Amino acid sequence: MKILTVVAGRLLWTVPTLLLATLIAFLLQQLIPGDQAVALAGEYASDEKLAAIRADLGLDQPVLTRYLDWVGGVLTGDLGTSYRTGQPVAEIVLDRLPVTLLLTLFALLIAIAIGVPSGIAAAQRPGSWTDRLFTTAATAGIAIPNFWLGMMLIAVFAVKLGWFPGPGGVDFADDPAGALRALILPAVALGMVGSAEICRQVRSAMIENLGADYVRTLRAKGLSKRTIVWQHALKNSSLPLATILGIQVSHLVGGAVVVEAVFGLSGIGSLVVEATNQRDYIVIQAVVLLAAVIVLVTNLVVDLAYRLLDPRIT
């Protein structure tokens, strides 16, 4: 019952948050220099043609009126129609969404698989060569841009060794196994920064827990080091881990824009780039709304995880 109350309360808070996110995105787009009608019709279009385009797209209406009309459509499931292609925006987004979700999921799994064991290994002997090695690697991982890492991965593993497909990806409908294989290199490029941050946070939390009084009591009772580390200290470090995982989801969704561009993937990231270049603002608004929903759902899951991991949290 308490969980349902928490979920209901958080869902109520998502409404004003989503409205604020979409309003900011809508207003910021109005600051972009240039005329959208000119971008669609061409620089040498007549005034009559430009006026007809503005009237057809509703661009001659006040900004607030256009925003309220769009929000009203969203509430009924209508995200609008692309200015450039005439397709429903919902269809365009749903067509690109699976690639980005799979890329983000793979990147998160890679970040966890590398970051958590590295952080635990570094924390067991603070100040040792192992600790310095993982700490230095984590610092380097945070500093290296994911687009540069992506280009290096393409040059080595796709071009030179030929182990993975190069930029462009594979259509999931035609070759599901090949499409998943083509996501490995982008996921590594996207997930390495996340693994570095997870390593740092897990190391810090584990050092604190391994130095706590209860660990000395467990050692006095004769429990093995492996049991103490993996079953007790790691469990008590789960709250910081849950926090950093929630933050990493937001970072990965944002980083997908760059990584998809490097690897030529047809996901949400490349859709944003295309829509920005074409001034297809209605598509950008839908993507911003989708990103806000993903972040809010992630925060909700993390909030519920807190209560499951530590029942003392109210």
pLDDT tens string for the chain (314 positions)? 566 676 677 777 777 777 787 777 777 766 666 666 666 666 666 667 667 767 766 666 777 777 777 777 777 777 777 777 778 888 888 888 888 888 888 888 988 898 888 888 888 877 788 778 888 888 877 788 877 888 888 888 877 877 777 776 666 666 667 677 778 888 888 888 888 888 888 888 888 887 777 878 878 877 777 887 777 777 777 777 888 888 888 888 888 888 888 887 878 888 888 887 777 777 888 888 888 888 888 877 777 777 776 666 65
Place of tokens 């598509």: 283
CATH superfamily of 99-309: MetI-like (1.10.3720.10)
Parse the chain into domains and list their residue ranges: 12-75, 99-309
> Helices (DSSP H) in the chain: which residue ranges?
2-30, 36-41, 47-57, 63-75, 89-124, 129-143, 146-153, 176-182, 184-210, 213-220, 225-227, 234-236, 238-263, 268-277, 281-309
